[in-house]
Amino acid sequence: MSTTVPTTAALQSARIAVLGYGSQGRAHALNLKDSGLDVTVGVRRNGPSWEKARADGLKTAEPAEAVKGADLVAVLTPDMVQAALYTDAIAPNLKPNAALLFAHGFNVHFGQIAPRTDIDVVLVAPKGPGALVRREYEKGHGVPCIYAIHQDASDQARDKVLAYAAGIGGARAMLIETSFAEETETDLFGEQAVLCGGATELVLAGFETLTEAGYQPEIAYYEVLHELKLIVDLLHEGGLAKMHQFISETAQYGDLTRGPRVVDAGAKARMKQILDEIRDGRFAKEWVEEYKAGNGNYRALKQKDLNHPIEQVGASLRARMPWLNPAQPAVTTVAPAADAPLKRSA
């Protein structure tokens, strides 16, 4: 963890190219510009991102042109297009001793990109979505970032990566040093086992358990999905201590005695298997091959998820929650009463 507060001094006279203008790309580019740095956004000419960046007051250029003469190139495009972007636009144009920066180490760590040996290769990953990175910067705050140095050809890679982190606001909060391997492997594990894969499968299993037992799908939705945000917010704000402080003793006792029966030693063993597949490259190989084959299996699995009954029930219920989308008129109806009391499971 950094013990001093870095500044943008190492990049004050540098030309920075930000490739990509999605959630993170837009936040990084605007924050760097507002930090007084020279930023050009590299995107396809006259596409929607080109027009959006121009409207935001940023300079734009085709990716290859943005890279030419740049002292630092931030690659903020989706993972699966980065290898081709590096081959076609970056490697032929990036000058020696310049820095190549990523927000996720996937392609470098798993060998999809083999960076030239005469450039710095670094990473800065804000621990929050792009909208939050931008919003907190505008408030005078920042989102904590992790950073890493994979290759230091100029002997100035550390100064550059810390200056970049300062430029996007991360130094206002906290900077933690990591490695490309640690960032990539922990990020993938968190997504697969807990944040996305684990959480959604737990929700779906809970919904199915209740509806298969005869409970109304609307009630099941509220109990296993809608109220999840309340618990996650408590955990996010104050960890386990705050969650226990603000839930009932009945909920606490159920948590402590029944939770370990759902996520048991077997679940942890399967988490370890998932981590092994990430660390030894099996997941990366599978995902790269799936992408190259046209994403047929990926699309089918995603559509299956979107076709789940919880999605239909959720869409109807969320239409009656105007606070979720203030711009959308609220739907106000009363659900019909059940013809007979539900048979409760033992």
Per-residue pLDDT tens for 165-206? 999 999 999 999 999 999 999 999 999 999 999 999 999 999
Domain encompassing residue 221: 195-321
User: Is residue 183 included in any domain, yes or no?
Assistant: no
Position 116 in a domain? yes
Secondary structure of 60-80 in the HEC alphabet? EECHHHHHCCCCEEEECCCHH
Residue 323: what pLDDT? 87
Let me know whether 163 and 218 are in one domain. Answer: no
Residue ranges of the annotated binding site are 21-24, 44, 49, 130, 187, 191, 223, 227, 248
Q: Could you tell me if 223 and 249 lie in one domain? A: yes
Residues 150 and 286 in one domain: no
- Which of 148, 178, 208 is the endpoint of a domain? 178
Binding residues for substrate: 248
| Confidence check: pLDDT of 55 > 50 | yes
The stretch 254-282 carries a mean pLDDT of 97
Which residues lie closer than 8 Å to 80 by C-beta, 6 or more apart?
287, 288, 291
Q: What is the pLDDT of residue 344?
A: 37
The per-residue pLDDT of the chain, averaged, comes to 94
* 226 labelled catalytic: no
Residue range 279-298: mean pLDDT, rounded: 97
Q: How many domains does the chain have?
A: 2
Judge if 276 and 236 occupy the same domain: yes
Of 40, 34, 33, whose CA–CA distance to 15 is shortest? 40
Q: Are 134 and 204 in a shared domain?
A: no
Which residue ranges are tagged as binding site for NADP(+)?
21-24, 44, 49, 130
Res. 214: pLDDT tops 80: yes
Q: What is the pLDDT of residues 130-174, one digit of tens each?
A: 999 999 999 999 999 999 999 999 999 999 999 999 999 999 999
What's residue 332's pLDDT? 56
Task: Band the pLDDT of 345: cuts 50, 70, 90.
Answer: very low
Q: Determine the average pLDDT of the residues in 48-64.
A: 97
Tell me the C-alpha distance between 203 and 85, whole Å. 37
Lookup: tokens for 91: 């490697």
* Residue 220 shares a structural domain with residue 154: no
Say what the pTM is. Answer: 0.90
Catalytic residue among 28, 104, 109, 150: 104
What are the angstrom distances between the C-alpha of 176 and each of 4, 24, 127, 162, 333? 12, 19, 11, 10, 50
